[in-house]
Structure 1
Amino acid sequence: MSTIDLRKKTVGLLLEKKKLSGIVARVGLVLDITGSMRKLYNNGTVQEVVERILAIACKFDDNGELDVWVYDHEFSRLPSVTERDFAGYVQSRILGDPSIHKFGRNNEPLVMEDIVRKYTKEEPDSTPVFIIFINDGGVVNPTKKTLTEAAVHPIFWQFVGIGDSDFEVLSQLDTLPGRVVDNANFFPIADITTITDEELYDKLLNEFPLWLKEAKAIGILR
């Protein structure tokens, strides 16, 4: 079996364990491309992240597509990636594209607002949205307000902190008061290249089932 097939199998087994088999969701990946991430783009770590998250989209999304954004103080909405064209995606679609702003400073609200716009204005749908948000620290404080306002939408935000930052703002997003529903989770990983697929997928899918239940109960999901 290919690596992507093995990862899809691992995700499938975990979905059965968490009673998520049959759940359909649109899946998006947001990648920090600020200056401190340069090494992880150049050494292949980000490409590996894309491939690992793609396995989740293959099991959740009805067309097997993973929507992708990158951001620093600007953002780019990229072509979706599938298991047919993921090889070399980071090099060809991100690093090799001069139109994409790279290695600047953080501004999370801009990209988050575009995500909400895509799934609620441009492509409105009752299908839940599962966003995996990769960041290595330095999140701006207004992100809290953006996340709070987004709680009324059928979007769950799974924030993943990579590296050794203190993740002060990210760690607060999981427990923000004033939201109609808890629409986010956060966990840190010191080195994302050393965590197994099983561990990563288990962490990524830990709170999504709880949100599905709560969002349905208050009418955000049908």
Structure 2
Amino acid sequence: MVQITLEKKKLTNVTAKVGIVLDITGSMQGLYKNGTVQEVVERILAVACKFDDNAALDVWVYDTHFSRLPSVTEKDFNQYVQTHILNNDAIHKFGRNNEPPVMEDVIRKYTVEQDDGMPVFIIFINDGGVVKPIKKVITASSVLPIFWQFVGIGDSDFEVLKKLDTMEGRLVDNANFIHLDDISAVSDESLYDQLLNEFPRWLEAAKEKRIIRP
């Protein structure tokens, strides 16, 4: 199914790094316990396996603090959330949300530690409010080879994220937001179509502005 979406959106020859950032604030507790977050990881791994440079999904979790976790691959995705997140006492869990620190770490990984100019596709899972300074991070990172795909799950209003497309002061539009009230009710085709909707346009704009290699 991912392959069909990639062909439709002319992404079959694209190689990128793919990462996922998972909200682990208090309001997400039920979604971790009932398996929703594990399902999200598994379905998004399918995207990573198609165009990530090493068929792996880089993973972060955050509340007021953040943790960078081991990458997940097709070999070890079973029980990933239980093993690496819920059973991991080193992770700060179920507090309040603070997005900028984890976003700065994503930027650090791909532009300082692994500065190879390859496009980066970040899927950012969130179930509600984000702090307003997130806008500064998105604006500042518009000159970098990183595209932020925010995915709202649950029934919050997502006021800040809904305005991403109209944010001014950026070199290119480097972020998109989709809302999936109940991700388990969304078909694979619809999920991948929505996830990859704006990424191709960003790739073109980023090449034009020489943010990534043509």
Asked if residue 130 in structure 1 is aligned to residue 116 in structure 2, the reply is no
SS at match of 2:10: coil
Runs of 4+ in 1 over 6 A off after TM superposition: none
Alignment match, 1:145: 136
* 1:113-124 equivalent positions in 2, closer than 5 A: 113-124=104-115
Deviations 1:23-65 (A, max 9, x none): 0000000000000000000000000000000000000112101
Q: Structure 1, unaligned stretches of length 5 or more?
A: 1-9
Task: Provide TM-score, normalisation by structure 2.
Answer: 0.98
Deviations 1:109-137 (A, max 9, x none): 01000000000001111210000000001
Displacement of 1:189: 1.1
SS at match of 1:40: helix
**1:19 maps to which of 3, 10, 19:** 10
Alignment match, 2:28: 37
Structure 2 CA distance for aligned equivalents of residues 145 and 184 of structure 1: 12
C-alpha RMSD over aligned residues? 0.6
Alignment match, 2:97: 106
SS at match of 2:68: strand
Counterpart residue identity of residue 105, structure 2: D
Asked if residue 63 in structure 1 is aligned to residue 54 in structure 2, the reply is yes
Structure 1 CA distance for aligned equivalents of residues 75 and 156 of structure 2: 35
Structure 1 CA distance for aligned equivalents of residues 8 and 30 of structure 2: 36
Asked if residue 188 in structure 1 is aligned to residue 179 in structure 2, the reply is yes
Alignment match, 1:207: 198
- More contact order relative to length (CA 8 Å, sep ≥ 6): 2
Q: Structure 2, unaligned stretches of length 5 or more?
A: none
Task: Provide TM-score, normalisation by structure 1.
Answer: 0.95
Deviations 1:150-188 (A, max 9, x none): 111000000011111010111112221000000000011
Structure 1 CA distance for aligned equivalents of residues 54 and 106 of structure 2: 19
How many residues were matched structurally? 213
Structure 1 CA distance for aligned equivalents of residues 42 and 137 of structure 2: 28
Structure 2 CA distance for aligned equivalents of residues 194 and 163 of structure 1: 12
The percentage of counterpart residues that share the same residue type is 69
